[in-house]
Amino acid sequence: WYPAWRGLWRSTDGGLTWTRVYSEYSVSFAVISPGYAQDRTILIRPTGYHWNGTILKSTDGGDTWQEISNGLRSCCGAFAYGIGLIVFSPGYLRDQTIFCVEDGMLKKTINGGLLWQRIDSDWPYPMPPGPMGWVRGVAPSPSYESDQSIFITADKGLYLSSNGGNKWEQIWSGD
Protein backbone atom coordinates (compact mmCIF):
# COMPACT_ATOMS: atom_id res chain seq x y z
CA TRP A 1 0.00 0.00 0.00
CA TYR A 2 1.19 3.50 -0.84
CA PRO A 3 -0.80 6.60 0.19
CA ALA A 4 0.10 9.46 -2.12
CA TRP A 5 -0.88 12.63 -3.87
CA ARG A 6 -4.08 11.91 -5.78
CA GLY A 7 -4.78 8.52 -4.34
CA LEU A 8 -3.97 5.23 -2.74
CA TRP A 9 -1.94 2.64 -4.59
CA ARG A 10 -1.87 -1.13 -4.05
CA SER A 11 0.64 -3.77 -5.11
CA THR A 12 -0.20 -7.46 -5.08
CA ASP A 13 3.18 -8.67 -6.36
CA GLY A 14 5.64 -7.40 -3.79
CA GLY A 15 5.94 -3.92 -5.31
CA LEU A 16 6.76 -4.81 -8.91
CA THR A 17 3.52 -3.21 -10.20
CA TRP A 18 1.07 -0.77 -8.65
CA THR A 19 -2.63 -0.04 -9.20
CA ARG A 20 -4.44 3.06 -7.96
CA VAL A 21 -7.43 1.90 -5.89
CA TYR A 22 -8.58 5.33 -4.68
CA SER A 23 -8.19 8.45 -6.80
CA GLU A 24 -10.72 11.05 -5.67
CA TYR A 25 -8.31 12.98 -3.39
CA SER A 26 -4.81 12.71 -1.98
CA VAL A 27 -4.37 10.36 0.98
CA SER A 28 -2.47 11.38 4.12
CA PHE A 29 -2.13 7.87 5.46
CA ALA A 30 -3.56 4.37 5.29
CA VAL A 31 -4.00 1.87 8.13
CA ILE A 32 -4.37 -1.86 7.53
CA SER A 33 -6.46 -4.09 9.79
CA PRO A 34 -4.43 -6.54 11.89
CA GLY A 35 -6.67 -9.25 10.40
CA TYR A 36 -6.37 -8.01 6.81
CA ALA A 37 -5.92 -11.52 5.39
CA GLN A 38 -9.39 -12.38 6.72
CA ASP A 39 -11.33 -9.08 6.62
CA ARG A 40 -9.50 -7.11 3.85
CA THR A 41 -10.15 -3.91 5.82
CA ILE A 42 -8.18 -0.72 5.22
CA LEU A 43 -8.83 2.81 6.47
CA ILE A 44 -7.60 5.98 4.82
CA ARG A 45 -7.57 9.64 5.72
CA PRO A 46 -8.14 11.74 2.59
CA THR A 47 -6.60 15.22 2.59
CA GLY A 48 -8.04 18.58 1.78
CA TYR A 49 -10.19 21.24 3.39
CA HIS A 50 -13.44 19.29 3.16
CA TRP A 51 -11.93 15.98 4.33
CA ASN A 52 -10.41 17.08 7.67
CA GLY A 53 -12.71 14.96 9.85
CA THR A 54 -13.24 12.07 7.49
CA ILE A 55 -12.14 8.45 7.49
CA LEU A 56 -12.87 6.18 4.54
CA LYS A 57 -13.12 2.40 4.96
CA SER A 58 -12.80 -0.45 2.51
CA THR A 59 -13.69 -4.03 3.44
CA ASP A 60 -12.80 -5.48 0.04
CA GLY A 61 -9.12 -4.66 -0.22
CA GLY A 62 -9.61 -1.18 -1.66
CA ASP A 63 -12.10 -1.88 -4.43
CA THR A 64 -14.92 0.17 -2.83
CA TRP A 65 -14.97 2.84 -0.10
CA GLN A 66 -17.48 4.15 2.44
CA GLU A 67 -17.24 7.11 4.79
CA ILE A 68 -17.23 6.22 8.51
CA SER A 69 -17.35 9.64 10.15
CA ASN A 70 -20.50 9.62 12.33
CA GLY A 71 -19.39 11.29 15.55
CA LEU A 72 -16.35 12.94 13.97
CA ARG A 73 -16.36 16.67 13.33
CA SER A 74 -16.21 16.37 9.53
CA CYS A 75 -14.45 19.62 8.74
CA CYS A 76 -13.35 23.02 9.41
CA GLY A 77 -14.16 25.17 12.42
CA ALA A 78 -11.78 26.84 14.84
CA PHE A 79 -9.91 23.67 15.80
CA ALA A 80 -9.96 21.83 12.48
CA TYR A 81 -6.72 19.89 12.35
CA GLY A 82 -8.58 16.78 11.33
CA ILE A 83 -7.67 13.16 11.83
CA GLY A 84 -4.06 12.82 12.90
CA LEU A 85 -3.87 9.15 13.83
CA ILE A 86 -5.87 5.93 13.42
CA VAL A 87 -5.13 2.72 15.35
CA PHE A 88 -6.89 -0.63 15.16
CA SER A 89 -7.41 -2.74 18.26
CA PRO A 90 -5.18 -5.83 18.02
CA GLY A 91 -8.38 -7.93 18.19
CA TYR A 92 -10.28 -5.88 15.59
CA LEU A 93 -11.60 -9.00 13.84
CA ARG A 94 -13.57 -9.82 16.99
CA ASP A 95 -14.09 -6.51 18.84
CA GLN A 96 -14.45 -4.05 15.88
CA THR A 97 -12.64 -1.37 17.93
CA ILE A 98 -10.73 1.48 16.30
CA PHE A 99 -9.17 4.56 17.90
CA CYS A 100 -8.44 7.89 16.25
CA VAL A 101 -7.03 11.22 17.30
CA GLU A 102 -9.09 14.06 15.88
CA ASP A 103 -8.22 17.68 16.59
CA GLY A 104 -6.19 16.54 19.61
CA MET A 105 -9.06 14.49 21.07
CA LEU A 106 -9.16 10.70 21.40
CA LYS A 107 -12.16 9.01 19.78
CA LYS A 108 -13.17 5.35 19.79
CA THR A 109 -15.62 3.21 17.86
CA ILE A 110 -16.67 -0.28 18.94
CA ASN A 111 -18.66 -1.06 15.80
CA GLY A 112 -16.13 -0.77 13.00
CA GLY A 113 -16.65 2.96 12.52
CA LEU A 114 -20.43 3.33 12.51
CA LEU A 115 -20.31 5.68 15.53
CA TRP A 116 -17.33 7.45 17.13
CA GLN A 117 -17.28 8.77 20.71
CA ARG A 118 -14.76 10.93 22.56
CA ILE A 119 -13.07 9.02 25.38
CA ASP A 120 -10.14 11.20 26.52
CA SER A 121 -12.20 13.54 28.68
CA ASP A 122 -15.56 14.26 30.19
CA TRP A 123 -15.31 17.83 28.93
CA PRO A 124 -18.17 18.88 26.67
CA TYR A 125 -17.63 17.99 23.03
CA PRO A 126 -16.18 19.53 20.87
CA MET A 127 -13.81 21.75 22.84
CA PRO A 128 -10.22 20.47 22.79
CA PRO A 129 -8.04 20.07 24.62
CA GLY A 130 -9.23 18.14 27.65
CA PRO A 131 -7.51 18.15 31.07
CA MET A 132 -4.67 15.99 29.65
CA GLY A 133 -3.91 18.47 26.89
CA TRP A 134 -3.82 17.51 23.23
CA VAL A 135 -3.63 13.76 22.65
CA ARG A 136 -0.57 12.94 20.54
CA GLY A 137 -0.50 9.14 20.45
CA VAL A 138 -2.51 6.05 21.35
CA ALA A 139 -1.48 2.44 21.94
CA PRO A 140 -3.98 -0.24 22.92
CA SER A 141 -2.57 -3.16 24.87
CA PRO A 142 -1.73 -6.27 22.81
CA SER A 143 -4.36 -7.94 25.04
CA TYR A 144 -6.90 -5.11 24.67
CA GLU A 145 -9.83 -7.50 24.18
CA SER A 146 -9.35 -8.97 27.64
CA ASP A 147 -7.70 -6.17 29.66
CA GLN A 148 -9.25 -3.07 27.95
CA SER A 149 -6.00 -1.15 28.55
CA ILE A 150 -5.09 1.87 26.43
CA PHE A 151 -2.05 4.13 26.75
CA ILE A 152 -2.07 7.67 25.41
CA THR A 153 0.57 10.35 25.21
CA ALA A 154 -0.70 13.87 25.64
CA ASP A 155 0.73 17.32 26.29
CA LYS A 156 0.65 16.71 30.04
CA GLY A 157 2.18 13.22 30.15
CA LEU A 158 1.44 9.53 29.70
CA TYR A 159 -1.97 8.17 30.66
CA LEU A 160 -3.46 4.71 31.13
CA SER A 161 -7.04 3.54 31.01
CA SER A 162 -7.76 0.00 32.16
CA ASN A 163 -11.44 0.10 31.25
CA GLY A 164 -11.59 0.94 27.56
CA GLY A 165 -11.24 4.70 28.02
CA ASN A 166 -13.92 5.37 30.64
CA LYS A 167 -11.42 6.52 33.28
CA TRP A 168 -7.80 7.72 32.91
CA GLU A 169 -4.87 7.85 35.27
CA GLN A 170 -1.68 9.80 34.69
CA ILE A 171 1.28 7.42 35.00
CA TRP A 172 4.01 9.89 34.00
CA SER A 173 3.96 13.68 34.00
CA GLY A 174 6.87 14.27 31.66
CA ASP A 175 8.71 16.31 34.27
> pTM for the complete prediction?
0.89
Provide the pLDDT for residue 58.
Answer: 97
pLDDT tens sequence across 102-133: 888 899 999 999 999 989 876 544 455 667 77
Rounded distance, CA 33 to CA 43, Å?
8
Residue 147 and residue 164: Cα distance in Å, rounded?
8
Average pLDDT, the chain: 87
Q: What is the pLDDT of residues 59-103, one digit of tens each?
A: 999 999 999 989 887 555 444 567 889 999 999 999 999 999 988
Residues 2-29: pLDDT tens digits?
898 888 999 999 999 999 999 888 898 9
